[in-house]
Amino acid sequence: MKNFSRKGANAQRKTQLLQSRFASSFAPLRLCARNILFVAIVLIASGVFIAPVLSSSPFYDLVILNGRVIDPESRTDAIRNLGISNGVIKTISTGKLSGRTVIDARDLVVSPGFIDLHQHGQDEENYRFKAMDGVTTALELEVGTGDVDAWYAQREQKSLINYGVSAGHLAARMAAMHEPITFLPTGDAARRPATDAEIEVMKQRLEDGLERGAVAVGFGIQYTPNASRWEILEMFRVAARYGASCHVHMRHAGGKEPGSSIQALEEVISAAAITGAPLHVVHIHSTGGPATPKLLQMIGEAKSRKLDVTTECYPYIAGMTDIKSAIFDEGWQEVFNIDYKDLQWAATGERLTKETFEKYRKTGGMVAVFSMTEEIVAAAIKSPLTMIASDGILERGKGHPRTAGTYSRVLGIYVRDKGTLTLMDALTRMTLMPALRLERRVPAMKNKGRIRVGADADLTIFDPRSITDKSTFQEPAQYSEGIRFVVVNGAMIVKEGRLESNVYPGRAVRAPFRPKTN
Ligand SMILES: [Zn+2]
C-alpha cells in the first residue's frame, strides 16, 4: 500500500492540459451565444460530458483520500475524501478530489488532531514526542505561566504544533511572595498562608494574564497546602469574570479523612458554584486513587445540577512530580497508601529507599509515584466524563512515559486490546471534549477538534490495527508507533510515520486580547 503519492497531482495536470486543448479548439466559435448553445447541444448529443470543459473542479493544497473519517461532533464514521487549502478543511466528500499533495489514507483512521489540555513540556523536544503521538495542540493549563506575553513570544513561528497557556496561581503566588518563579514553588509560596495584601497581588497577576489572552487559570493547590480556601475562592472569582476555566490539581489526594480527595473536590465544586467559574479537575485518578469512582460520581452529580465541571485522566498507574514539593511533606505514605519502594527516580529508573529518598529530597528532581491500580485507571478512562490529557514533560529524554505515549496507549490498549471504550468514544475525549471545554473563552477552539468544512486542518491519521505506545518508565523518550500522518494548520508534520524537519506550522491558542499600544 502506498500511503503517500503525487499520483493525484499528475492526474490533475493531465485534466488541466486536456481542458486547455478543448478550449483552444473551440476558440473560433467563442463569440456568440447561439454558437455556445450549438456547441453544448452537439456535445451533449454526442455523449461528451460538458462540465469539465466549462468549469474546472477545485485543486486543493492537500487531499486525503479513502480514509475512515471519524468526527465526534457529527458522529460521522465513514470513508470520505478531504480537501484542504489555506490550512482549512474545504470539502468532505465521497467524490474524486485532486490536490498538490495527496495522502492515500486507505485502511487508516482520519481523526481531528488530538488536543492535550495538560502538557507541561512546551519546547521542541516535547513537541516532537507529542506530534508522534498524534497531538496537534498541546496546552499548559495546570501550572501555567506568570508572564503570558513572554510565554507566547518564545514559541511564535518556532512551534511544530499549536500551543497555549493559562495564567498560573502558583506563579502569581511566587511573585506575590517575592520568590523567583520556578515550575513548582518550594519556598515560602509552597508553605505559608498569604496575607490579604499578597492575595490582592495574586488577583492582579491573574487579571493581567487573562487580559493578555491566557487560555484559563491554573492551580496546584496540593503544592500550596497553606493557601486558604478564601484565597482559592478569590482566584476563582477572577477566573469567573473572564469566563476562564479553572484547571485544578486539587488540595488533597487519597481517601483518608480529614484531608481526602473527596473533601478537596467539595472545595473546588463549591468554589465553582459560588463564583460561577467553570471547573476542570486535572488527573482525577492520580488524585483520587481508590476514591476515583466516587469523585466521578460527584462530578456527574454536579453537572446534572448545571454546574460546568469537567475532568481528565492519563492511562498510567503512576504519576510524577518533584520530590522537593510539598506533596512529600510528612505523612505522604499514608496519604497515597504507598512506601519508598513505590517511588521511582526518573533520572536513573531506580526505586527509592528511605536513604535515597532523603538524599534526593534535598537536591530535587522528578520522581514517579506508583499509587494507582489498573482498575482505577480503567474506571477513569471508561467514564464518559473524562477527557484524555497527558500531564507530560520530558527533559533531555527523562520523564514520564505519558509525555510520549498517552494517546497511542489509549487507542492501542484500551480501545483495541481491552475494548474498554469504543474508538468514537476515545476520539471524542481526545478532540471534541477538550475543544468544547475552552471555546467559551477561546472562540478559535470552535474550529478545532472537529472534521467539518471550515474547521482548522489539524488532523491525525493512524492505523488502528498497529497503533502502540513504546515509551516506558525506564525509557520514556520513545516515539509511539502507528501514527502515520499528522497535519497541523494544513501542513504535514508527520509523513509516513516520520517527523518532517524544519516545519513550524503551530499557532498560538490564545483568548482574544487587546494589542499592546506601546
Ligand atoms: Zn498535577
**Interval 183-202: pLDDT, tens:** 999 899 999 999 999 999 99
Q: What pLDDT is attached to residue 447? A: 98
What's the gap in Å between 311 CA and the centre of ligand 1?
12
Q: What pLDDT is attached to residue 41? A: 52
What's the gap in Å between 392 CA and the centre of ligand 1?
10
What's the gap in Å between 293 CA and the centre of ligand 1?
19
Q: Which of 132, 159, 160 is nearest to 484 (CA)?
A: 132
Quote the cell numbers at residue 89. Answer: 478543511
> What secondary structure letter does DSSP report for 498?
E
> Within its chain, how far is the Cα of 444 from the centroid?
14
> What secondary structure letter does DSSP report for 227?
S
Helix, strand, coil shares, percent, the chain, to 5: 40, 25, 35
Contact between 279 and 245 (Cβ < 8 Å): yes
Question: Positive or negative CA dihedral for 321, 323, 324, 329?
Answer: positive
**Helix axes 196-211 and 229-241, enclosed angle (nearest 10):** 30
Contact between 59 and 19 (Cβ < 8 Å): no
What's the gap in Å between 287 CA and the centre of ligand 1?
8
User: Prior bond to 258 cis, omega within 30?
Assistant: yes
What's the gap in Å between 222 CA and the centre of ligand 1?
9
What's the gap in Å between 249 CA and the centre of ligand 1?
5
What's the gap in Å between 102 CA and the centre of ligand 1?
41
Q: What pLDDT is attached to residue 1? A: 36
What's the gap in Å between 371 CA and the centre of ligand 1?
14
The number of beta carbons lying within 10 Å of the beta carbon of residue 477 is: 19
What's the gap in Å between 242 CA and the centre of ligand 1?
23
Give every residue of the chain whose pLDDT is below 70, as ranges: 1-56, 517-518
Question: Positive or negative CA dihedral for 93, 95, 101, 102?
Answer: positive
What's the gap in Å between 283 CA and the centre of ligand 1?
7
Does an H or E element contain 64, and which?
A: strand 59-71
Q: What pLDDT is attached to residue 515? A: 81
The alpha-carbon radius of gyration of the chain (Å, integer) is: 26
What's the gap in Å between 166 CA and the centre of ligand 1?
14
What's the gap in Å between 96 CA and the centre of ligand 1?
47
Q: Where are the strands (E) in 72-211, listed by range?
A: 76-85, 88-93, 98-104, 109-112, 114-116, 135-145, 162-168
What's the gap in Å between 344 CA and the centre of ligand 1?
17
What's the gap in Å between 315 CA and the centre of ligand 1?
14
